[in-house]
Structure 1
């Protein structure tokens, strides 16, 4: 990942991100219910790229989270409808030790901050400092067996969520990864963002982040993880199979039927920039797809 001067974050903005977010709260730009407590975390220096961070005002207000509504503003507006008290994540399937984890259990895993690029198939992008832990740490606790070839992620299903009153998708939201993708060091379970606990509109209390894939691959508000032998169907593959494939890798050379992927617009900018192969993580992940036709396996 070769970076240029225009990627470098202003030092003061980066170090004062918590004060910035809290200042926005005080002025009413961010609703108080949606900013949670600060987390205890370390900064993993291997993932502290000098990228220009997206302004929290954009990253916390411009979201795709269809459980809370289909417009970009709906997740923030309806965030209080998502109830996260007593949250649990069940891990089951092809493993020796299936378990149910409370959020307290998950937060006891060492939390670290990683700065990642995030790219939506719709053509917009952002750079945010996630807090959480590698998915591999969690999966290792249940000891996957030799039949575990894929990992399926299942999100919350609640008829009280405004977006789930309509059959925009076949709820609950489902996504999947190949096992080697899931165990890759970049694959991350996020519990926070910008130094704070994950707000509801961004997928509280825990979500997946796979930075070399389009954003819809990174499931929000996860309640179940299943280790399976056969490739699972994701929600968008079921809804529109001609537009969405299983892999969903960021590839500027493969256009979505409705959106070119050659360029992207960073949130907060009027100008587009060139989209990077694998969203800039080609050196780290290209070997996972050696010999594959990345146009056919989109």
Structure 2
């Protein structure tokens, strides 16, 4: 198997369980003869899981963080080893631990791969021990707390800005760009079909790219009603999401009322919003700073988000 590229992304334990199981069974149960009852433990549902995928969206590797600050279940398919997949998984897990504010990580390394972990700062601790008939070594990594950049005294909250009306494509694009540009850590988009004329525009895609890169762990949450329409043509935003999968999360409604919702909107975490009563028209209202309306839409978005399912059909395109 020739892997020219791959990506690492968070795994949804419920949605991705079959793929996680297949990976771990292939590596641990079939290849290493570890008993199935040992491999799949009770802590699994409470862990943070990662999955590595190749360009055909096939799962090729996985790893997890447990609630007690341990890395485990690092598995890469035999045909995919030596291509940087394990390294990418490990670095992504370390990065997640840093973002969670953890000050150390531990793992039980099989002694045959302890040198791999040593290259990334893990230090051996204690004696070699046997687990599932395989020799292991406890290893520990001390994490440097993420340094807080020295910042000036926070600026006063933005002044309220009265509602403005958008009537044209240009006005709508301008409002969206301003909302993206002012966002700190989160942007929420509710759209019928990820409107290509808006969210496929080069300037919008570039603004979302800059937000994803510069927001230090920020994300864009997108609810799409008609995933078939999204898949019917190439979409620049989907291409961007493929390159930055941890920043873009997609869900789609399953309840009739949500599927028939006629409006579209975008909100940021700086009290800004743009709301269009009819998603098929550009006419709408917006404000860069109007907390009351922003809060209403944010609460509505969260309620619908929780009712939605992950867009596995979009992920099959590379998300």
Bin for the TM-score computed over the shorter chain: under 0.3
More strand by share: 2
- If asked which structure has higher relative contact order (CA below 8 Å, sep 6+), I would say 1
More helix by share: 2
- The structure with the largest alpha-carbon Rg is 2
TM-score using structure 1 length: 0.23
